[in-house]
């Protein structure tokens, strides 16, 4: 056998610190603007950010944090959190971003499971830290992300971030780490069971940042001002804190005020061109735009994902405000980006309605991710846009196993099963129809709850809607719509049901509608259908009482 002929190129490791080093050196004057927890706007440059990230690295090493050890963060989107994004992995420790919206017991579980040595926290979370500290005996210190003058009064002894980093000179060379070493740790939301850790590597974080920046992904550049509304405590704010310095884009960090008015004002004041967030946030922004009668002057595009973007929202942004919506899909286990919906040349030549139908889907994979849908027998299903299957993915920024679950791999034949149910069309566009556990199984056929929710929220009186399966004696399960009306709006069950006619297959028609005041959400803003299903466990559908005279007919016959 002949030995392989190796390429003769430099083996420069892909490290997270190289991203901020690049931005500091080549985009040194570009700004990072943060709305601070203290209430004011803070502004500095990539150059200053890198110096302070180095000071943080020095401070943590002085506290005795070793390479590979975890340092937690409980913080909003702001410049100090960004410094942790680079300062912690920069010297070889692991930045563990924690979602403060989880239940305190889950947070304590996560901190202990990750074995965090120190936890950096925004002062808004001081009461939470006081509650957590007794449950997390292995944490060696809690560091308040503020200066001495804003140090909160707390039961727990805490260190002050500014004091710690001021003691360091910032003269530090980022080490050339092994690019496969761990960079960031994120836990899943844990809607079922305990949250699980996805441990990214320097290599995967940098490759993901490249992928996220591509023209057919977020398309970032040094002419952009990017505002991640998606929190830095949830899957790296979709990689934007890494991708922005890679491109030298201005970064605008909104802090804790994520209501429509606050976001709009920040976008206008800072000339934001690109924003990213979950649909719930954009609902608030659209409501503010309409109520205040204002428009965007610089925003060109918004990336919407984390949950399905309702077509009505896509149209509102595009038709009313001239802002391009880029629907995106991904998950914690994928760093998170998997697919984005942007039309290729051939698709853009189709009639407008056909273009829109494509853009409502979750789109095409970014280079680096490979996907397939499989049936119950594990066999790959066709890409015909009709066949539903379990979605499996693989790629260099997809997890191989969960943190500290070394025995047992989640992979099936080398692919990661996402837990999502989807179709893929002949264009290679993914359409997520459900989570595996949310799909409605009616008479052996599957009904997409997301598709029915999209129809419901397209009704002008509906603010939000969830579709869940209800037990049915004949069909096993049938869809129930649980909806929240917009303030002041009126709508009857019959009117909403009539709105579905002609928009979905006859056998997909919801069996009933219930109006409630508020829908339960997970810590990451997704509908908490598990809770809704529990709430409506004993709900009796009107069609369940009259099975002989079932209005549905046979599923197959009505297809
Ligand atoms: P998380 O790990 O918390 O980011 O959640 C990932 C899950 O959110 C995915 O597996 C999907 O079920 C859901 N999700 C993310 N983006 C979308 C989207 N654009 N459309 C539908 N579901 C989505």
The alpha carbon of 305 and the centre of ligand 1 are apart by a number of angstroms equal to 7
Decide which of 424, 455, 482 is a domain's last residue.
424
E-assigned strands of 443-520?
445-447, 462-472, 476-485, 512-515
Do 523 and 391 reside in the same domain of the chain? no
Distance CA 390, CA 99 (A): 28
Q: How far is CA 356 from CA 45, 311, 315, 499, in A?
A: 39, 9, 9, 20
Tens-place pLDDT, residues 50-88 = 999 999 999 999 999 999 999 999 999 999 999 999 999
Say yes or no: 342 and 228 in one domain: yes
Asked whether residue 332 falls in the same domain as residue 459, the answer is no
* Separation of alpha carbons 340 and 324, rounded Å: 13
Question: What are the b/e assignments for 12-42, b being 16+ CB within 10 Å?
Answer: ebbbbbbbbbbbbeebeebbbbbbbbeeeee
pLDDT of residue 112: 98
* pLDDT at residue number 382: 98
Q: Are residues 93 and 187 in the same domain?
A: yes
Give the CATH number, domain containing residue 260: 3.40.50.12780
For residues 419 and 300, membership in a common domain is answered with yes
Residues 442 and 342 in one domain: no
Mutate-to-test residue for ligand 1 from 106, 198, 237, 306, highest number of ligand atoms within 8 A of CB:
306
Distance CA 57, CA 169 (A): 11
441 is catalytic: yes
446 is catalytic: yes
Q: What is the pLDDT of residues 6-26, one digit of tens each?
A: 999 999 999 999 999 999 999
Between the CA of 395 and the centroid of ligand 1 the distance, in Å, is 17
Q: Whole domain around residue 493: which residue ranges?
A: 438-557
Task: Tell me, using a 6 A CB cutoff, whether residue 434 lines ligand 1.
Answer: no
pLDDT confidence of residue 556: 38
Average confidence (pLDDT) per 10 residues, the chain, 559 residues: 92 98 98 93 98 98 98 98 98 97 91 98 97 98 96 96 98 98 91 84 98 98 98 96 98 96 98 94 93 97 93 94 97 97 98 96 97 95 95 98 88 96 97 87 84 93 94 89 95 96 90 95 83 91 69 40
Spatial CB neighbours of 219, under 8 Å, sequence gap ≥ 6: 213, 274, 301
Question: Do 314 and 337 reside in the same domain of the chain?
Answer: yes
Residue 99: inside a domain, yes or no?
Answer: yes
Which atom of ligand 1 is closest in space to residue 362's alpha carbon?
19
Q: In this predicted structure, what is the pLDDT of residue 521? A: 87
Number of domains in the chain: 2
8 φ, ψ to 5°?
A: -115, 50
Q: 418 and 503, same structural domain?
A: no
Per the residue annotation, which of 162, 333, 360, 464 is the catalytic one? 333
């Amino acid at each position: 056998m002949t030995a392989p002929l190796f390429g003769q190129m430099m083996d420069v490791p892909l490290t997270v610190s190289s991203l901020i080093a690049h931005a500091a050196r080549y985009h040194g004057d570009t700004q990072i603007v943060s709305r601070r927890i203290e209430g004011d706007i803070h502004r500095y440059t990539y150059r200053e950010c890198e110096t302070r990230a180095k000071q943080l690295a020095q401070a943590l090493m002085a506290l005795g944090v070793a390479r590979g050890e975890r340092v937690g963060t409980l913080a909003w989107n702001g410049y100090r959190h960004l410094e942790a994004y680079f300062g912690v992995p920069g010297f070889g420790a692991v930045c563990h971003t924690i979602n403060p919206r989880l239940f305190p017991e889950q947070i304590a579980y996560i901190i202990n499971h990750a074995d965090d040595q120190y936890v950096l926290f925004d002062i808004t979370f001081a009461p939470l830290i006081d509650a957590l500290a007794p449950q997390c005996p292995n944490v060696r210190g809690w560091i308040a992300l503020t200066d001495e003058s804003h140090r909160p009064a707390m039961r727990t002894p805490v260190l002050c971030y500014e004091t710690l980093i001021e003691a360091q000179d910032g003269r530090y060379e980022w080490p050339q780490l092994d690019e496969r070493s761990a960079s960031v740790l994120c836990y899943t939301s844990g809607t079922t069971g305990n949250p699980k850790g996805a441990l990214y590597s320097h290599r995967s974080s940098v490759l993901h940042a490249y992928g996220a920046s591509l023209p057919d992904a977020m398309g970032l550049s040094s002419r952009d001002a990017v505002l991640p509304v998606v929190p830095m405590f949830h899957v790296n704010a979709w990689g934007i804190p890494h991708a922005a310095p890679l491109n030298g884009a201005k970064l605008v960090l909104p802090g804790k005020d994520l209501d429509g008015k606050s976001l709009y004002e920040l976008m206008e004041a800072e000339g934001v061109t690109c924003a990213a967030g979950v649909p719930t946030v954009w609902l608030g922004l659209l409501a503010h735009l309409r109520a205040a009668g204002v428009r965007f002057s610089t925003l060109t595009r918004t990336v919407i994902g984390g949950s399905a973007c309702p077509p009505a929202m896509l149209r509102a942004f595009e038709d009313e405000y001239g802002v391009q919506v880029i629907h995106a899909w991904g998950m914690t286990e994928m760093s998170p980006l998997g697919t984005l919906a942007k039309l290729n040349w051939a698709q853009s030549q189709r009639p407008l309605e056909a273009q829109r139908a494509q853009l409502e889907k979750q789109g095409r994979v970014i280079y680096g991710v490979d996907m397939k849908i499989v049936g119950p027998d594990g066999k790959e299903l066709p890409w015909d846009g009709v066949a539903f299957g379990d979605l499996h993915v693989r790629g260099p920024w997809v997890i191989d196993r969960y943190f500290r679950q070394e025995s047992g791999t989640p992979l099936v034949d080398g692919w990661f099963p996402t837990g999502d149910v989807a179709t893929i069309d002949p264009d290679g566009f993914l359409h997520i129809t459900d989570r595996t556990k949310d799909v409605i199984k009616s008479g052996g056929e599957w009904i997409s709850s997301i598709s029915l929710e999209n129809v419901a929220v397209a009704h002008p009186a509906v603010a939000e809607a969830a579709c869940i399966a209800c037990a049915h004696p004949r069909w096993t399960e049938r869809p129930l719509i649980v909806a929240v009306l917009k303030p002041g709006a009126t709508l009857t069950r019959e009117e909403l049901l009539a709105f579905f006619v002609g928009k979905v297959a006859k056998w997909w028609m919801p069996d009933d509608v219930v109006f409630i005041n508020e829908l339960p959400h997970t810590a990451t803003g997704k509908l908490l259908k598990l809770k809704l299903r529990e709430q409506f466990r004993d709900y009796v559908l009107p069609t369940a009482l009259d099975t002989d005279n079932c209005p549905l007919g046979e599923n197959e016959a009505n297809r």
